[in-house]
Amino acid sequence: MKKIIAANWKMNKDRAQSRAAAEELASGLAGRKAERTVMIFPPFLSIAEVSKALGGCADTVVGAQNFYPAESGAYTGEISLAMLADAGASWVLVGHSERRHILHESDVFLAQKTQFALSRNFGVVFCIGETLEERESGKLADVLTRQISQGLSAVFDMPSNLLQEKLIIAYEPVWAIGTGKVAGDREVLEAHAKVKEILAAQPGDLSILPVLYGGSVKPANAQALLALANVDGLLVGGASLEAKSFLNIINA
């Protein structure tokens, strides 16, 4: 399985900045062996710019950080999958901790979003992870079990080949996102093993799904994280904003 390196630009970069970063990435990716899948999740307004710049890069896809699970309608401020596809996106993030904890998206709503996206042939990077309080109180397994069993409940009856091609899990301990703290090797291995165990226990056995690690990933720690036996790739935040930094992670 190819390692997956995904970039979440969050609410950063205007169109010109996004285009410049994407063009620098494209230059760095040109002629490479397609040994890793690269995913870029820019802000909505930059998706078309980034998609155009990266159009010639092998095994590179562009996605969106959010969407609303309806074809169209009176959903002020929201964006549809059709609009995102028109801009060049083919994947979406669902369940990122900032959507869960700042925007209060529930497991039920995340299940609806995941099913809707997959049924429209969009790929989904489904994010899970615990807060520091939950980890320190011994609730890691309970939190991950709830997030997976409820958040993916609407896709259990979907064809396994579709899920294998279009669904990725990203484990991001909330306490490590943007804090500079990174889970240690043992913590990552244990958490990913638990995620795989929970996925295997779901209807249809979802343990085949790739599981990425996210949370203060940088060029300095990317190689060590990717070397861990059950880490299938990385979801990168701040360190993906500079093309040189992100290329170093891709090539780690």
Residue 97 pLDDT > 80 = yes
pLDDT of residue 244: 97
Residue 206 pLDDT > 90 = yes
pLDDT of residue 183: 77
The reported pTM is: 0.96
pLDDT of residue 205: 83
pLDDT of residue 77: 97
- Which tokens is 132 given? 């520091």
pLDDT of residue 179: 73
Taking residues 107-131, what's their average pLDDT? 97
- Which tokens is 69 given? 């699970």
Which of 98, 105, 172, 192 is the catalytic position?
A: 172
Which of 96, 98, 105, 130 is the catalytic position?
A: 96
Residue 219 pLDDT > 90 = yes
Q: Is 192 a catalytic residue?
A: no
What is the domain class of 3-250 according to CATH? alpha beta
Taking residues 221-236, what's their average pLDDT? 96
pLDDT of residue 1: 79
Residue of higher predicted confidence among 166 and 177: 166
1-42 pLDDT tens trace? 799 999 999 999 999 999 999 999 999 998 777 689 999 999
pLDDT of residue 204: 83
pLDDT of residue 176: 77
Mapping DSSP onto H, E and C, the string for the chain reads: CCEEEEEECCCCCCHHHHHHHHHHHHHHHCCCCCCEEEEEECCHHHHHHHHHHCCCCCCEEEEECCCCCCCCCCCCCCCCHHHHHHHCCCEEEECCHHHHHCCCCCHHHHHHHHHHHHHCCCEEEEEECCCHHHHHCCCHHHHHHHHHHHHCHHHCCCCHHHHHHHEEEEECCHHHCCCCCCCCHHHHHHHHHHHHHHHHHCCCCCCCCCEEEECCCCHHHHHHHHHCCCCCEEEECHHHCCHHHHHHHHCC
The answer to whether 62 and 92 are in contact (CB under 8 A) is: no
pLDDT of residue 132: 86
Read off the pLDDT band of 45 (50, 70, 90). very high
- The overall average pLDDT reported for the chain is 95
139-162 pLDDT tens trace? 999 999 999 999 999 999 999 999
Read off the pLDDT band of 190 (50, 70, 90). very high
Q: Is 96 a catalytic residue?
A: yes
